[in-house]
Amino acid sequence: MFQAIEILGLRKKYKRFTLQDVSFVLPAGHSMGLIGPNGAGKTTIIKLIMNLIRRDAGEIHIFGRDVIQDELAVKRRIGFVYDVPPFFQDVKLRDIAKAMAPFYPTWNQSIFESLMSEFELPREKTVKKLSQGMQTKFALLLALSHDADLILMDEPTSGLDPVFRRDLMQRLNGYLRDSSKAILYSTHITTDLERSADYITFLREGRLVFSTTRDELLDSYAIVKGGHELLKESYRPLFAGCHESSVGVTALTADRKQAERVLQDQAVVERASLEDIMVFLNHGE
Amino acid sequence: MKIILSNASPDPIYEQIARQIKNQIISGDLEEGAPLPSIRMLALELQISVITTKRAYEELEKEGFIDTVGGKGSFVAVQNVELLREKKMKIVEDKLNEAVREARLLGISYTELRQMLELLFQE
């Protein structure tokens, strides 16, 4: 069984930014959220997977196939949902489908028709008459209609309201009921990921900080709150990042159990949110 | 089957799931041989990661509460009556242990605690 995505030592150099030897794996049947501050390299990775830009080093395999050598075969299996769907603004939705279908041997018109009704999208309207949320939904619908095995999305939920976002996430999770499929999306809306991503990959300044299961992350990291005594030198190794104010100290630990053992009742230890982890690690070093 | 997850709880989500299913098996709400939802279905219903539900089922399997039959899904295992009784005792013992610890901490004597228990039991 091949991994849905296997990235090894990926490098891409720009004038002011370098994606540095990034490696991670996404097993089929799972979803992965790509997070990190702006400029971390999320979009660069997605573009490299889509072979829209040239990599300087490393390998990318999608279901076991190289994205450059087997470009066509790979792309047929990917459903790419852009942050701004690149559709012609004056074309009706049903005509866009007609134009796309010939490119995909696996295009399924009846899935397209039934999803149009399910997603409540107007066949006869032009793209420019759709809200941003509807455009995203339509882009996803097209990916589902050609039976993509890997859905790739760059910031799919930014600019969407919470109700719409949750609806979208639910549909994506429903799609994963088929365990041969996989989803990778970049986002900075971490609450969406907390809800349902299986894996979280965190990038900062072109480097991989971690790529792990969400469970492991949320069960091992914790927020520690206490007085200024937490700043003691001997406690330092416990914390991955900390924030000091006039009334106390808030810190992030990567080892909840260890922190609880060492600090005992000197501090309050509570579950960290993904946002906490992201913010603290970003300022940490 | 009923599962309520708490984000405020310090317990990992998989543990919360495993514990609740376990309790429903012990109490008899989930009967022997009853089918459980697939890990994918349960993940979808609870809006959580499939890795979490998989881990919860693995725990339950390890403890002998459920059986997983390849291609068919997971079922409540046939429970050994003796074992089941032991498990029930263990649950109460754990709770009593907690009460004893708390009593010691608060300076309540064994006699007082026993009186309390007697009263509570007769209610």
ipTM of model = 0.71
| Chain B contact set for A174 (CB, 8 A) | 44
In DSSP notation, B90-111 reads HHHHHHHHHHHHHHHHHT--HH
CATH number of B13-76: 1.10.10.10
Q: Do A197 and B49 touch (CB under 8 A)?
A: yes
| Chain A contact set for B8 (CB, 8 A) | 271
* B24 vs B3: CA distance, rounded Å: 10
Confidence of residue A164 (pLDDT cuts 50, 70, 90): confident
Cβ-Cβ contacts under 8 Å for A162 (sequence gap 6 or more): none
N- to C-terminal Cα distance for chain B? 30
Q: For residues A81 and A3, which has the higher predicted lDDT (pLDDT)?
A: A3
* A19 vs A42: CA distance, rounded Å: 9
DSSP 8-state symbol, A4: S
* A204 vs A210: CA distance, rounded Å: 10
DSSP, collapsed to helix, strand or coil, labels residue A272 as coil
Contact A100, A146 (CB under 8 A): yes
Q: For residues A278 and A86, which has the higher predicted lDDT (pLDDT)?
A: A278
Q: Pick out chain B residues at pLDDT < 70.
A: none
Confidence of residue A84 (pLDDT cuts 50, 70, 90): low
Contact B33, B76 (CB under 8 A): yes
Name the CATH topology of A5-217: Rossmann fold (3.40.50)
* B32 vs B16: CA distance, rounded Å: 21
Q: For residues A143 and A202, which has the higher predicted lDDT (pLDDT)?
A: A202
pTM of the model: 0.81
Task: Report percent pLDDT > 70 for chain A.
Answer: 97
Domain extents in chain B: 13-76, 81-122
Mean pLDDT along residues A139-155: 88
Q: For residues A228 and A190, which has the higher predicted lDDT (pLDDT)?
A: A228
Q: Do B50 and A170 touch (CB under 8 A)?
A: no
> Is residue A60's pLDDT more than 80?
yes
Which one of B12, B47, B48 has the shortest CB-CB distance to A219?
A: B12
| Predicted local distance difference test score (pLDDT) of residue A285 | 47
Domain extents in chain A: 5-217, 221-284
* A204 vs A192: CA distance, rounded Å: 20
Q: Which residues 183-202 of A have a C-beta within 8 angstroms of B?
A: 195-198
Which one of B7, B13, B50 has the shortest CB-CB distance to A198?
A: B50
From A129, A131, A168, select the one nearest A151 (Cα to Cα): A168
Mean pLDDT along residues A217-234: 89
Q: Do B51 and A195 touch (CB under 8 A)?
A: no
Q: Which residue of B has its CA nearest to A169?
A: B47
Confidence of residue A284 (pLDDT cuts 50, 70, 90): low
And the tokens for A239?
């914390």
